[in-house]
Amino acid sequence: MTTPSKTRVLTGITTTGTPHLGNYVGAIKPAVAASKDPAVDSFLFLADYHALIKNHDPAQVHQSSVEIAATWLALGLDPAQVTFYRQSDVPDITELTWILTCWTAKGLMNRAHAYKAAVQTNEEAGEDNDFGITMGLFSYPVLMAADILMFNGGKIPVGRDQVQHVEMARDIAQRFNHHYGEHFLLPEAVVDDNVAVLQGLDGRKMSKSYNNTIPLFEGDKKLKKAINKIKTNLLEPGEPKDPDTSTVFQVWQAFATDVQTATMRKEFANGIAWGEAKKQLFELINAELTAPRERYNELMQHRDYLEKTLQQGAEKARAVSSPLLAKVKAAVGLKPIA
């Protein structure tokens, strides 16, 4: 096994839905920043095979890939500096998935949170345990393991909910290495506690499933409208307000410098009107998003450029995956007769 000289940081983005402000603050911004570190070799990919687990609408599956590719590039991901590709352009990953599937204990998959949650939902609804559960959902952690192991990804930045999957990838790699010799680097999940989990309009975690998101690139009018909908209490202008229980303040903090945050804290104590706080919040966010939004709109008009960029990324990715897959296949006995 050859260990890459730089730390290889790898993460996948499931291509469902349109990115919102919570995705930007919680995932895209830190990943783009990390990708600029010269000591890091970033592998970032559109997990479009993962999208098929949740979404069976071809137009949506496709559109989401286009939007997510354009979003990351608009926000400064430099395709020359990183390896940015679409999972489905690297068939080595799905080939490896099968080989790993044959080394994955069914019992391990039974313990996966996403699968267990689906079973529990069925139980509560009085349905058969397996109702609506595809093999895609059940064996999704194997595909994720192949995503990681195919590139010897060492550090895997993920949200808390994904740590278990990275541990499963480690487990699968260990079993394989034990039987066939060292082929795979054992990956480690990296959870960044400093990354803000942005609150949504209703104060819960911003998430498409709660329908409480603030759009990222839908234009300044929609941005303003969404910010005006952030839930507040009924305190009047002039009445002191508590920043630490306020979504307006929490979102402010995610975009502001320390000095701007301290200033806003004082404004809250001085009784800033909700309307004024929201106006300032809109201006702060809009200032940061205006240039990327223009790039995004431009990229969405240049689909040939997006496609070419992803193809070039896939070529870079395949240069890494195909020699390793060839070795793995030979190790398990899949090789030419002579």
**Interface ranges with ligand TRP (CB under 6 A):** 10-12, 14, 47, 50, 144, 147-148, 156, 158, 162
Q: Which is nearer to ligand TRP, 158 or 201 (CB)?
A: 158
Say how far residue 227 (Cα) sits from the centre of its chain: 23
The structure tokens 């940015």 sit at: 84
Contacts of 203 (CB under 8 A, 6+ apart): 231, 247
Distance separating alpha carbons of residues 316 and 321, to the nearest angstrom: 9
For the bound state, the minimum distance from the C-beta of residue 51 to ligand TRP, rounded and expressed in Å, comes to: 10
Residue carrying the six token digits 């508590």: 242
Tell me which residue has its CB nearest to ligand TRP. Answer: 12
Residue whose CB is less far from ligand TRP, 92 or 147: 147
The distance of closest approach from Cβ of residue 53 to ligand TRP in the complex, given in angstroms and rounded to an integer, is 9
Report, in Å, the least distance between residue 275 CB and ligand TRP.
Answer: 36
Alpha helices, DSSP H, located in the chain: 21-23, 29-35, 48-54, 58-74, 91-101, 106-110, 113-124, 135-138, 140-149, 163-180, 220-228, 247-255, 258-269, 274-301, 303-332
In the bound state with ligand TRP, the residue whose beta carbon lies nearer, of 10 and 185, is 10
Shortest distance in whole angstroms from residue 146 CB to ligand TRP: 9
In the complex, least distance from residue 93 CB atom to ligand TRP, rounded to whole angstroms: 9
Pick the closer one to ligand TRP by CB: 50 or 86.
50
Q: Under a CB-based contact definition with an 8 Å cutoff, are residues 30 and 192 in contact?
A: yes
Which CB atom, from 225 or from 316, has the smaller least distance to ligand TRP? 316
